[in-house]
Amino acid sequence: MSNKKNSNPIYKLEFINITKKFLNGKIVANNNINLGIEGAKVTALVGENGSGKSTLTSILFGLYKQDFGEIKIDGKISDMYQSGAAKKHQIGMVHQHFHLVEKFTVLENIILGQEDLFVSNDDKDALKQKIFELENKYNNFSKNTKEKEKFEKYYDIELELRKKRFARYHNKLEINKLEQKLKKLTNSNLIFYKLNILKKEQKISKLKKEILNLEKKSEKFNSQISQLKIDFKKYLTKNTQKLEEIRKELDFLKVDLNTRNSTKYGILNYKKYRNRFDAITNRYGINLNPDQLVSKLNVGDRQKVEILKTLWVEKDVIIFDEATATLSVDEISSLLQLIKKLRDANKTILFISHKLHEVKEIADNIAVLNKGNLIANYKNTADVTIDHIAKIMVGTKITLDFKKESPSTKKLLEVKNLSYITKKGFKAVDNVSFDVKEGEIFGLAGIEGNGQEEIFNCIAGIKKATKESKILFEDRDISNSKIKDKNKFISHIPIDRFKHGIIADRNLAFNSIITSFNDQRFAKIYFPKKTNQKEGKNLVVDNKEIYRWTEKLIKKMNVEGASNYNIEIRNLSGGNQQKFVISREISREHKLLLAGHPTRGLDIKSIKNIYTEIINNAPFKATLLYSLEISELMAVCDRIAILYKGRIVKIINPKKFASEKISKMFVGEV
């Protein structure tokens, strides 16, 4: 444990007596923290929700000004709250809460505030020198000419493989578009086609031929990709992998040099920006469309945009604040590999995560915070176990082990032939059917992007399924019901709480009733409907009752930092905002609970408490649970639907399947 002043030259950063309070001292986010951060190392900050991790890193990034204390960078005291201080010291931050403009494209969001990629003559010379050194390293890596030839072949195959995959993806989108045109034309009853049936038949025939040709093209792409994968493995050796890293770094530096000075007289050179985008995404293995609007991206892809914003310009220090919380298993693995590469390139990393297996894998040092205090600081040695870290964090060992009653045979929710097609014509959900019984917790699982989010949002009413789709609750068709009507019997913990769960600038009392504003118990004057006395409009609110309700929600989930109901919800930590939303949705009257990523960004103690509440809430209701954490689904759910490419691979009883078998189902293997 370390809690004293440090002035050690090995530290890249030093937090000295850092103290930060909010709401006139009612919330102590950081209390006299002294912590040294080693250069070219990964330091993990762990602790329960509201322990002060994000606040500490936000002070370093210049988002907050500490009330007391100093920050040293390379041994010199620095005022990080000054405008441009983080940029000057080359500090980047991947934020827990996204800072994105919805109506901008991916590329526009990345370059926003980073338009000027100016490089001085000295920096340009340094870049050229680095390129020269890498070229020499590449040329001298192996004296064996055959090994170099092998790598050249390996590299060419990798480029070709990437091109083929890209082409296959766009070919698939084109097939979906034509299929939709064909469907509309076949079902069309327009007078024009009634008068000219022959023209309609000719057009249908033409569309069918185009689809057939594209399908043949897809089969050809599949065959070519399979062969390229086989060829790729032939040349995969330790040497080729090392040479690939050098080559990727070399390619990036050349593009980096050529894409500097991308603005002239205030005009942006988008061609250079696109080249830079391609180089960075290739270097770090991040797949995104630069022209896609951010408003159309799922949560995982938005996280990737935040990461790319940080990597756009060279950084010495990078803060990852819960960066893995919204990513799939494969994406997490890729990100952890990326962090290792950044560390090997002498970057200093601050890594905040509640997933202790990630911390154990990636960290060189582990600092534990509790209620704003630094309570431990370890080297990540073999004797520092995950259980040991968890015990320091929460005071006891916690396991996800639950007992629950068996569900009845009565079906409450029925989903029949559900399909969802994106605006670009991509079939994200393909003819999915399942039911959820009374008292059952039913899970949706799979690698993110395989249709789970779309199914969840179609049932919630956020997205609209195709006409053939049927969603029934208690034998009543709710497929086209409005969200306000669904709110009468559905409680919804949204996948994206900022978009669909809270209004950040309003207080806790207001946020406690945003899904039940017209509930009669919150009214002093209530105007009921003639047709249904239980429904009506809340004309004058009863503030005392709303405050009592808010206090009940705070206590139910132990929402820390919520000292009273007038605090704006944005002042709570991300985890405590999540706990407040969950408390609200479980506490209000409902027959169906939709829980989307309920434990995202939460510590193990909170996760246990939340699933205990969900299980206690389950009797006589239907619960649909969507999570990327398969271990949590297996611990909580009665049945799980495994999805792949928008279809259900299998509906399983998790108690009868090993996690290894389930992982294979994630890629379509039954």
pLDDT at 77: 92
Q: Which residues of 163-197 are buried (b: 16+ CB within 10 A; e: fewer)?
A: ebeeebeebbebbbbbbebbeeeeeeeeeebeeee
Q: How far apart are CA 509 and CA 530, in angstroms?
A: 30
Q: State residue 595's pLDDT score.
A: 94
> According to the model, what pLDDT value does residue 194 have?
55
Do residues 542 and 524 touch, judged by C-beta distance below 8 A? yes
Rounded to two decimals, the pTM is: 0.69
DSSP string, 208-272: HHHHHHHHHHHHHHHHHHHHHHHHHHHT--HHHHHHHHHHHHHHHHHHHHHTSS-EETTEE-HHH
d(CA 250, CA 132): 9
CA distances from 511 to 193, 263, 377, 554, 599 (A): 53, 44, 37, 12, 19
- Name the stretches of the chain with pLDDT < 50: 1-7
Q: What is the DSSP string of 595-653?
A: EESTTTT--HHHHHHHHHHHHHH-TTSEEEEE-S-HHHHHHH-SEEEEEETTEEEEEE-
E strand residue ranges, 395-426: 411-421
Query: What Å distances lie between residue 57 and 63, 434, 482, CA to CA?
Result: 9, 44, 42
Domain 11-90+314-394: top CATH class: alpha beta
Task: Give me the pLDDT at residue 487, please.
Answer: 83
Q: What are phi and psi of 330, to 5 degrees?
A: -65, -40
For residue 43, what is the enclosing H or E element? strand 42-47
Phi/psi at 37 (5° precision):
-110, 115
Bridge-partner residues for 427, per DSSP? 421
pLDDT of 355 reads: 83
pLDDT at 35: 94
Res 23: pLDDT = 76
For residue 531, give the DSSP letter: S
Quick one: tokens of 553? 């929600």
DSSP annotation of 405 reads P
Sequence-separated (6 or more) residues with CB below 8 Å from residue 482: 461
CATH (residue range 410-489+591-670): 3.40.50.300
Paired tokens of 555: 């206590």
CA gap 279, 290 in Å, rounded: 12
Angle between helices 329-344 and 299-311 (to 10 degrees): 10
